[in-house]
Homo-oligomer: A and B are copies of this chain.
Amino acid sequence: MSNNKQVRLAKRPMGMTDASTWEFTTKDIPTPAEGQFLCKIEYISLDPAMRGWVNDAKSYIPPVEIGAVMRAGTAGTVIESKHPDYKEGDFVVGSLGVQEYAVSDGSFCYKSDTFGLPKEKFLGVLGMPGFTAYFGLIDVTNPQPGETLVVSGAAGAVGSVVGQIGKIKGCKVIGIAGGPEKCKMVVEDYGFDACIDYKAGDVKAGLKEHCPKGIDIYFDNVGGEILDLCLARIRFHGRVSICGAISQYNSTEPIKGPSNYLSLLVNGAKMEGFVVLHFRERYMEAAKQLGEWMMAGQLKSKETVIEGIETFPDTFNRLFSGDKTGKLVLKP
């Protein structure tokens, strides 16, 4: 049966991806071999990191090859199994790519209860973005009560969780997001103390107003000018967690390094990077804690679900235009 729609990498993009970056194919639904299961993919995760995966560059995982199905996180249901640990009906979160069906031997997958929650949350707050927020804030920066935490990409899948964990840990939390609606959501729905609208202009003045004593922790999702502005206000023994640099991912120029990095020297501060995969052995710890906070009403999340695998090229670019709320998910 030729009815497994897929999105493959057609060519490596320069700058923003567009329709020509991708190739649509329709293949037979594959048959699981011994030790494999077949998964019907119900939700596909769209993440800024995917932009990096299509560059031909050494990174923490190999680039997606030209002609291969685009790599992506997925949530779905086992519909046929020859794998001893998976049975029909199991809910599976993993990395099965931008397609409707996939077989897997269980690598990069885990089974989960849905706890009656919408399945797309397992690609957001209860999945990689949530784990990213958890380890990138708690392990990398060790937030203490009373400290000032600034989070860029505050309305996003990672940033919104970072700020909420910061509040749980007793920090004063200031978000940075684009546009009045997102800023309102960050404060009213996610409970940040304030949110600076970078599209309205003066981030520097906003940081000065909301962080009068400076910044103890900056969780950076964006890089570029905002990283520099936060470095300029970093406090003694401050910590910067480098999670991403969405302002730079589509740049055709060399990456802009932080001119104010010597603020680290003056303030005895540190800037530390991480990839959530570095913490893979502790995912269940994060899932358990995030789930508990969620059940207790301390952690909220939003998802934007777009239907139709054929919308992938445009939907993917919403990550960079900011035209989405919280976690962006594709329903194929």
| Residues on B with beta carbons closer than 8 Å to the beta carbon of A60 | 266-267
Instruction: Tell me if A186 is interfacial: C-beta within 8 Å of chain B.
Output: no
Residues of B within 8 A of A243 (CB): 265
CA distance in complex: A111, B12 (Å): 65
**Cβ–Cβ contact B273 & A262, under 8 A:** yes
CA distance A269 to B273 in the complex (A): 6
Number of interface residues of A (CB under 8 A): 32
Q: A residues near B, CB below 8 A?
A: 59-60, 223, 228, 242-245, 248, 254-275, 278
Distance between Cα atoms of A263 and B274 in the complex (Å): 10
Residues of B within 8 A of A245 (CB): 262, 265
Q: Which residue of B lies closest to A259 (CB)?
A: B257
CB distance from A50 to the nearest CB of B (A): 15
Task: Contact check, A273 vs B267: say whether CB atoms are below 8 A apart.
Answer: yes
Are A228 and B257 in contact, CB atoms less than 8 angstroms apart? yes
Q: How many copies does the complex hold?
A: 2
Which of B244, B266, B268 is in CB contact (< 8 Å) with A265? B244
Closest-CB distance, A134 to chain B (whole angstroms): 15
Q: Which of B262, B266, B270 contacts A270 (CB 8 A)?
A: B270
A261 to B240, CA, bound (A): 12
Alpha-carbon distance between A76 and B256 when the two chains are bound, in angstroms: 46
Contact in complex: A275, B268 (CB < 8 Å): yes
CB distance from A177 to the nearest CB of B (A): 21
**Alpha-carbon distance between A4 and B228 when the two chains are bound, in angstroms:** 45
Among residues of B, the one whose C-beta sits closest to the C-beta of A270 is B272
Q: Of B223, B255, B257, B262, which one neighbours A242 at CB under 8 angstroms?
A: B262
Q: Report whether B257 and A260 are in contact in the complex, using a CB–CB cutoff of 8 Å.
A: yes
Contact: A242 with B259, CB < 8 Å?
A: no
- On whether the beta carbons of A266 and B228 are closer than 8 Å, the reply is no
Closest Cβ of chain B to A236, distance in Å, is 8
What residues of chain B lie closer than 8 Å to A268, measured between beta carbons?
272-275, 278
Contacts of A269 in B (CB 8 A): 272-273
A319 to chain B, nearest CB (A): 17
What B residues does A274 contact at CB under 8 A?
265, 268
